[in-house]
Amino acid sequence: MTPDLEKARAFYGGLFGWKFQVGPKETHFYSMCQVDGRNVAGMGERPRDAPLPPAWSVYFEVDDIDAYAARVRKHGGHVGMGPMDVMDAGRLAFCSDPTGAHFGLWQSKQHHGAQRVNEPGSMTWHEVNTRDGARARDFYAAVFGLEPKKMEGMEYWTLHKGPDVVAGVYQTNGKEGTSAPAHWMSYFAVADTDATVKKATELGGKVLAPPMDTPYGRMAVVADPAGATFSVIKLAMPAQGK
């Protein structure tokens, strides 16, 4: 969600090489972000009176959105909007977990989400950053039937659905130099992290964490000109998309 779709398209188009399928006026020009004609993300116009800042959001696919909205409430979360129909695309609800991180629920009809993942220019990972990792871990595990597994040496849990790793929970300690509230962080795969960061600054973005090497690849944290944050990573070992 961004206050200026035209500026957002210019930034991300220049950064990731995205092309855009812009919706009609009745959708407030909602824009599908595409690589080689396939959807990798979406952009919507943020209402001026919206209580949330510009941000990337993560949506969990569900088969019965009303039942999952009830589960969110049952386990201490909040449903702030919906469930509601989005024309013939699907049904939507927007929620927050007990630690304050916002996320969406999506029940597909005509729209089935990202058609490419784990490739340059597409999403490759999502994690919730919170100061109460245990509470967030237990919430997402209970609501979505996921199995949490703790990583050695850090307060980080991966969330598993059968053989698939679907997301992460990272407990921040307040020492990262930010007082940011709990939030979901989306990662986009890139071919060259340093070149992407340089390009982001040329396009008006800001570097929040400079490129660093990790066991999973070279990554950095960036904010777009409107302030929405995201991470970029050159994967050490490209993940296998579905």
Residue 231 has pLDDT above 80, yes or no: yes
Q: What are the tokens at 40?
A: 């990798």
- Would you say how long the chain is, in residues? 242
| Cβ–Cβ < 8 Å for 106, 59 | yes
Mean pLDDT across 77-105: 95
pLDDT band at 239 (very low <50, low <70, confident <90, very high): low
| Cβ–Cβ < 8 Å for 60, 144 | yes
From CA 147, how far away is CA 29, in angstroms rounded? 38
From CA 93, how far away is CA 66, in angstroms rounded? 9
Mean pLDDT for the chain?
93
Residues of the chain with CATH 3.10.180.10: 59-113, 123-235
- Higher pLDDT among residues 239 and 58, named by residue: 58
Give the model's pLDDT for residue 106: 97
pLDDT band at 130 (very low <50, low <70, confident <90, very high): very high
Mean pLDDT across 183-209: 98
From CA 143, how far away is CA 170, in angstroms rounded? 18
Give the model's pLDDT for residue 164: 94
Give the model's pLDDT for residue 153: 87
- Of all residues in the chain, what percent carry a pLDDT higher than 70? 95
- Of all residues in the chain, what percent carry a pLDDT higher than 90? 84
From CA 21, how far away is CA 37, in angstroms rounded? 9
Residue 176 has pLDDT above 70, yes or no: no
Looking at residue 156, its amino acid is Y
From CA 141, how far away is CA 21, in angstroms rounded? 35
Residue 242 has pLDDT above 50, yes or no: no
Residue 228 has pLDDT above 90, yes or no: yes
Give the model's pLDDT for residue 26: 80
Mean pLDDT across 68-93: 96
Report, in angstroms and rounded to the nearest whole number, the Rg of the chain calculated over CA atoms: 17
Cross-strand bridge partners of residue 189: 233
**123-235 maps to CATH 3.30.830.10:** no
Give the model's pLDDT for residue 177: 47
Q: If you classify domain 59-113 with CATH, what class do you get?
A: alpha beta
Residue 14 has pLDDT above 70, yes or no: yes
Mean pLDDT across 26-55: 89
Mean pLDDT across 182-194: 97
Residue 137 has pLDDT above 60, yes or no: yes
Mean pLDDT across 207-217: 96
Give the model's pLDDT for residue 174: 60
pLDDT band at 50 (very low <50, low <70, confident <90, very high): confident
